[in-house]
Amino acid sequence: MSPPVRVLLVDDDALVRAGLSMMLDGARGIRVVGEAADGAEVPAAADAHSPDVVLMDLRMPCVDGITATRRLRARPSPPQVIVLTTFDADENILLALRAGASGFLLKDTPPDRIVDAVCRVAAGEPMLSPGVLRRLMDRAAHQASRYEQARDAVATLSQRERDVAVAVTRGRSNAEIAAELSMSVATVKAHVSHILTKLDLDNRTQIALLGHDAGL
């Protein structure tokens, strides 16, 4: 069996942390390894507990979740980050994704979907609440300048890299992409890595966001 996904909870509300800990520790394949009450505590908590995934609140007293995510993702071999919040303003969503978050969920997301999101993000797949994804797509459709920049970026990709980027934008997993494009999963992973490096992106979520901006 594969080792459990190690999760760090970051929220200034102790009751929220307790509820998440109870829910996630009861899920198969997940282990809550630590907690932090503010973004300022995240670096030390990450060093102490080596999480695979961080569930990050947005609004905290000292260091907010966006700043904490950006700092965390700038570290060597950083964990994946899922923002879990009650604040779903468009600007919050975009800031979180650009900071390097791999997921954005609302706190009223059903428990089973939060568990699924943790597992999927740990495996390298993005996870957004359906409503959040719709809003991102609508906003991207009305950003002409961003569209042109995204199209220029996509134009630097090889045809095979573009095919993989399109599939990632459509939410396909590595296994699904491999089946659709008749290549091995290892080759898909290599193409994703090349795309991230070539476009100076942090994760698959940002590839998908760029893909939506470019109209892929």
Q: Please report, for the chain, the start and end positions of each structural domain, with discontinuous segments joined by +.
A: 5-137, 143-214
Q: What number of other Cβ atoms are within 10 A of residue 216's Cβ?
A: 19
Q: Please report which confidence band the pLDDT of residue 143 belongs to, taking 50, 70 and 90 as the band edges.
A: low
Residue 7 has pLDDT above 90, yes or no: yes
Residue 56 vs residue 130, higher pLDDT? 56
Quote the CA–CA distance of 215 and 19 in Å, as a whole number: 39
- Kindly tell me if the per-residue pLDDT of 157 is higher than 80: yes
Which class is 143-214 in CATH? mainly alpha
Start-to-end CA span in the chain (Å): 37
Instruction: Decide if pLDDT at 65 tops 90.
Output: yes
Q: What is the pLDDT of residues 10-30, one digit of tens each?
A: 999 999 999 999 999 888 899
Helix (H, G, I), strand (E, B) or coil at 182: coil
4-42 burial, b if ≥16 CB within 10 A, otherwise e?
bbbbbbbbbeeebbeebeeebeebeebebbbbbbbbbbb
pLDDT tens digits, residue range 187-196?
999 999 999 9
Domain 5-137 sits in CATH at: 3.40.50.2300
Q: What is the pTM of this model?
A: 0.67
